[in-house]
Amino acid sequence: MGQLSPKKSLYEQDFYAWANEQAALLRAGAFSAADIENIAEEIESMGRGEKRELVSRLTVVLLHLLKWRYQPENRGASWRVSIANTRDDLADLLEDAPSLRANRTVHLASAYKRARRQASAETGLPEKTFPPTSPFSFDQAINVDFWPD
C-alpha cells in the first residue's frame, strides 16, 4: 500500500480508512484521539443528505401527480407504479428519520419548484399551466390513497 502524503490527513486521502479508524476509536472510548471536527462535519453532512433524498423523492411524486392531473389521457401503469414506489420510499425514509417532517412545508415548496419545471418540460405545457405553489399538501403527496382527479 502506498504512503500517505505528509501534507494530507487520512481524512483527505482515504475517507474509508479514516471512517473505520474513527469508528474504532469511538468504540474504544478514545475520544481524545478521535477527529471530532471531521466526525461532526460528516454527521451534519449525513443529515443534509437525508433532506436532499426527501426533496428528491418528493419531487418525483409531485411531478407524477401533476402529470396525472394535467394529462389524464396519458395516465398509465408506469405513472401509478412510479408514484406508489416513490411513496413507499418516502414512507421508509420518514420512518427512519421522522424529524424530516418538521420542515415539510419548506421541503414541499422546494420539491414543487423542481416538479413544476420538470412537468412543463415533460408535458410540453407552459410552466404557467401549473399553479405557482403546490396544489397538493405534503400529506397528500405521501398518502398512498390520494390520487388527484
Alpha-carbon span 67 to 79, nearest angstrom: 9
Q: At what angle do helices 77-96 and 36-70 cross, to 10 degrees?
A: 150
Contacts of 78 (CB under 8 A, 6+ apart): none
The pTM (predicted TM-score) of the whole model is 0.80
Per-position pLDDT tens, the chain of length 149: 555 555 688 888 898 888 889 889 989 999 999 999 988 888 888 878 899 999 999 999 999 999 999 999 999 999 999 999 999 999 999 999 999 999 999 999 999 999 999 999 999 999 999 999 999 999 999 999 999 98
Q: Where are the domains of the chain?
A: 50-142
